[in-house]
């Protein structure tokens, strides 16, 4: 099969899953590029971050038209995630890590982020039930500190692996801010992820870790995939779709570190 066609078909498959489940873009795209197409991990991460920034920007505009974004939570998430992402990229670039070690580190970061995403997908309801059993929201100062700290961890993961802003971010926001509805959690997660992925993508691009042609080939397949997946999502139970995605992520993690 032609290499460009295979990449576009991969983009379509990932877009289909994202459209059906709402998550899984970075979680599936980066491992596919690294594990199947054997693309350099740094190039895969940088290109996928640019892909995520573009697709999430469209989603944010749609959510903001329906007033689903919590601006205060977005601000706190950015206070934690942006500096952490910047520090992670600077360390990777200026920390004296040799290319071979850098590649291994990126593979480990991708696999670790995938594992956390699987946990977030499969145990989301149990985690939320446990949080609600504790009662109301935590004190404002503690809530702000927890939001910034969680965002810092996610920001570093996203910068190193392009994974974490979706499923992990949603669970973190829902646990710390239980007053938000599911729609508000999803909208807020997408809104903070746009500048985060844009910053990380810019950093990787400046480091030479962005392949424009690869990005175009992925977008050609993913856009129709997302549209079709969104239409199919109403017919597929949420629990089934999340279990299917979790299974795919486990395979992706194994392929990435193999």
C-alpha span between 91 and 24 (Å, rounded): 27
Supply the pLDDT for residue 118: 77
Q: In this structure, are 241 and 126 located in the same domain?
A: no
Contact (CB, 8 A) for 252 and 114: yes
Per the model's pLDDT, the better-predicted residue between 93 and 5 turns out to be: 5
* Confidence tier at 52 by pLDDT (50, 70, 90): confident
Q: In this structure, are 71 and 199 located in the same domain?
A: yes
Token pair belonging to 78: 């950015």
Residue 52 lies in a domain: no
Q: What letter does residue 123 receive in the DSSP assignment?
A: S
Which residue segment(s) compose the domain that 256 sits in? 1-39+211-258
Supply the pLDDT for residue 109: 79
> Please, what is the average pLDDT of the chain?
81
Whether residue 97 is predicted with pLDDT greater than 90 in this model: the reply is no
Contact (CB, 8 A) for 163 and 157: yes
Residue 80 lies in a domain: yes
Contact (CB, 8 A) for 124 and 171: yes
Residue 45 lies in a domain: no
Q: For the CA atoms of the chain, what is the radius of gyration?
A: 17
Q: In this structure, are 202 and 228 located in the same domain?
A: no
Name which of 59-63, 199-203, 206-210, 212-216 the model is least confident about: 59-63
Supply the pLDDT for residue 61: 61
Q: In this structure, are 175 and 229 located in the same domain?
A: no
Which segment, 46-55, 63-72, 100-109, is predicted with the most confidence on average? 46-55
Domain boundary among 207, 225, 248: 207
Residues 6+ apart with CB under 8 A from 256: 31, 34, 35, 107, 110, 111, 114
* Confidence tier at 98 by pLDDT (50, 70, 90): low
Q: In this structure, are 194 and 226 located in the same domain?
A: no
Domain boundary among 167, 182, 207: 207
Q: In this structure, are 177 and 257 located in the same domain?
A: no
Residue 47 lies in a domain: no
* Total number of domains in the chain: 2
Q: What is the pTM of this model?
A: 0.78
Contact (CB, 8 A) for 234 and 22: no
Supply the pLDDT for residue 64: 56
* Confidence tier at 78 by pLDDT (50, 70, 90): very high
Q: In this structure, are 183 and 219 located in the same domain?
A: no
Residues 6+ apart with CB under 8 A from 187: 60, 63, 64, 66, 68, 69, 70
Residue 53 lies in a domain: no
Token pair belonging to 164: 């974490």
Whether residue 149 is predicted with pLDDT greater than 90 in this model: the reply is yes
For 82-108, what is the mean pLDDT?
78
C-alpha span between 56 and 226 (Å, rounded): 12
Supply the pLDDT for residue 36: 85
Token pair belonging to 112: 């670790």
Residues 6+ apart with CB under 8 A from 212: none
Q: In this structure, are 163 and 183 located in the same domain?
A: yes
Q: In this structure, are 164 and 202 located in the same domain?
A: yes
Sign of the C-alpha dihedral, residues 31, 63, 201, 226? positive
Q: In this structure, are 220 and 165 located in the same domain?
A: no
Residue 81 lies in a domain: yes
Q: What are phi and psi of 30, to 5 degrees?
A: -60, -50
For 46-66, what is the mean pLDDT?
72
DSSP H or E run through 143: helix 140-161
Name which of 112-116, 165-169, 241-245 the model is least confident about: 241-245
Residue 69 lies in a domain: yes
Domain boundary among 164, 190, 207: 207
C-alpha span between 159 and 181 (Å, rounded): 28
Supply the pLDDT for residue 245: 67
Q: In this structure, are 3 and 107 located in the same domain?
A: no
Specify burial of residue 186 (Cβ count, 10 A radius: 0-12, 13-18, 19+): buried
Residue 216 lies in a domain: yes
């Amino acid at each position: 099969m032609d290499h460009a066609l295979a990449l576009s078909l991969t983009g379509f498959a990932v877009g289909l899953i994202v459209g059906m489940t709402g998550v899984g873009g970075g979680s599936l795209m980066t491992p596919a590029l690294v594990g199947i197409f054997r693309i350099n991990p740094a190039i895969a991460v940088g290109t996928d971050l640019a892909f995520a920034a573009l697709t999430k920007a469209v989603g944010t505009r749609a959510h903001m038209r329906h007033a689903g974004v919590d601006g205060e939570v977005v601000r706190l998430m950015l206070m934690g995630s942006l500096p952490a992402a910047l520090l992670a990229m600077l360390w990777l670039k200026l920390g004296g890590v040799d290319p071979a070690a850098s590649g291994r580190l990126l593979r480990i970061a991708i696999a670790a982020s995938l594992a956390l995403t699987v946990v977030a997908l499969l145990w989301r309801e149990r985690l939320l039930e446990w949080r609600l059993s504790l009662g109301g929201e935590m004190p404002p100062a503690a809530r702000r500190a927890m939001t910034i700290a969680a965002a810092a961890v996610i920001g570093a993961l996203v910068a190193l692996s392009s994974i974490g802003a979706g499923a992990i971010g949603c669970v973190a926001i829902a646990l710390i801010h239980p007053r938000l509805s599911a729609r508000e959690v999803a909208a807020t997660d997408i809104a903070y992820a746009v500048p985060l992925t844009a910053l990380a993508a810019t950093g990787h691009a400046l480091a030479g870790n962005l392949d424009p042609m690869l990005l175009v080939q992925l977008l050609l397949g993913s856009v129709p995939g997302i549209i079709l997946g969104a239409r199919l999502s109403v017919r597929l139970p949420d629990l089934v779709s999340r279990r299917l995605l979790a299974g795919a992520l486990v395979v992706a993690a194994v392929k990435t570190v193999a």
